[in-house]
Amino acid sequence: MAKILVATEKPFAAIAVNGIKEICDNAGFELVLLEKYTDKKDLIAAACDVDAIIIRSDKIDKEVLDAGKNLKIVVRAGAGYDNVDLEAATANNVVVMNTPGQNSNAVAELAVGMMIYLNRNGFNGSAGTELRGKKLGIHGYGHIGKILAHIGKGLGMKVYAHDPFIDRIIIENDGVVCEEDLGTLYSKCQYISVNIPANNQTKGSLNKELLSKMPEGATLVNTARKEIIDEAGLLQVFANRKDFRYISDIAPDCKTEIEEKYAGRYFFTPKKMGAQTAEANINAGLAAAKQIVGYITDGDTTFKVN
């Protein structure tokens, strides 16, 4: 009987875990749960005798992969798989998959929610600003970007997007202005939402030069990864411009300096929570379980990323 481990330092909603269990039961697989663990040793111990692992932002490195003697597949229930050592997985004959699009709506809603929260001064009763009539620049037009464009237009924003990997027709068919040049996107839009993966090309790529291009009322919204920001550059932009604001789903390493110096110009979630809704957990968790069953029973490698 195949053994499936759900290893989530930040657990799924209970309803999603029940759904995963049902899929495992129906396939004749055994489900093992490791939730809220704080020590990597617990993950390594749990990985030892399982065939498959479902994770979220949990780190799957060489040590974990080497420990998983029966391991065949790891599914990242979510979009970004920068937390998995793909090279080590491939070397160990372990297939890695993600579940693209399954939690995107939750992330897009959080991005907009955080913009409104900061615009209304944390709902403290003082006069704030509105999104209507402002320009929203979507940096990365994948699943999240597409939903954000729809919400932005609903809010009366003018929506622009840049994505070198997406055909401009797809962007324009959504009624969104396609900007082929990233700098132009940043120089046009007061609000920029970043929805790109963290990889060798993107890490540190949001630098002083790019952020400085933003017009008056600049608000950068990062629901992607903190690593894509060049934090030294971010601090310089904060220092140079009184209008610059930064919203991020998970605080940057330079959080304390920003908090001490730039009150009212930032919002950081205490824990990464873009995908933390029951709906997103159900969508991504169940998709992950189904992909594992499909791979183990039929060799289906759809969504393989290594």
Q: Smallest distance from the beta carbon of 125 to ligand 3PG, in angstroms?
A: 32
Q: Encoding tokens for residue 220? A: 């950068």
CB of 178 to ligand 3PG, least distance (A): 24
Q: Which residue is nearest to ligand 3PG (CB)?
A: 78
219 versus 222: smaller Cβ distance to ligand 3PG:
222
**Which CB atom, from 3 or from 272, has the smaller least distance to ligand 3PG?**
272
- Rounded to whole angstroms, how far apart are CA atoms 54 and 186? 37
Nearer Cβ to ligand 3PG, position 57 or 193?
A: 57
Q: Please state the closest distance from residue 299 (CB atom) to ligand 3PG, in A.
A: 25
Burial (CB < 10 A; 0-12, 13-18, 19+), residue 85, is: buried
* Radius of gyration from C-alpha coordinates of the chain: 20
Q: Output the CA–CA distances (angstroms, integers) from residue 80 to 77, 103, 155, in the order listed.
A: 9, 11, 28
**Type of residue at 284:** A
Residue 275 CB, nearest approach to ligand 3PG (Å): 4
Whichever of 119 and 277 has its CB closer to ligand 3PG, that residue is 277
Closest separation between CB of residue 187 and ligand 3PG, Å? 28
For ligand 3PG, the binding residues (CB under 6 A) are: 10, 56-57, 78-80, 103, 272, 274-276
Give residue 258's region: left, alpha or beta (phi > 0; psi -120 to 50).
alpha
Least distance (Å) from ligand 3PG to the CB of residue 114? 14
Give me 157's structure tokens.
């924003």
* Nearer to ligand 3PG (CB atom), residue 12 or residue 295: 12
C-beta of residue 237 within 8 angstroms of C-beta of residue 244 = yes
- 7 neighbors 53 (Cβ within 8 angstroms): yes
Nearest distance, CB of residue 137 and ligand 3PG, angstroms: 20
Closer Cβ to ligand 3PG, 78 or 137, answer by number = 78
Pick the closer one to ligand 3PG by CB: 211 or 284.
Answer: 284
What minimum distance in Å lies between the beta carbon of 56 and ligand 3PG?
A: 3
C-beta closer to ligand 3PG: residue 10 or 153: 10
Angstrom CA distances, 188 to 149, 204, 241, 292, stand at: 16, 21, 17, 44
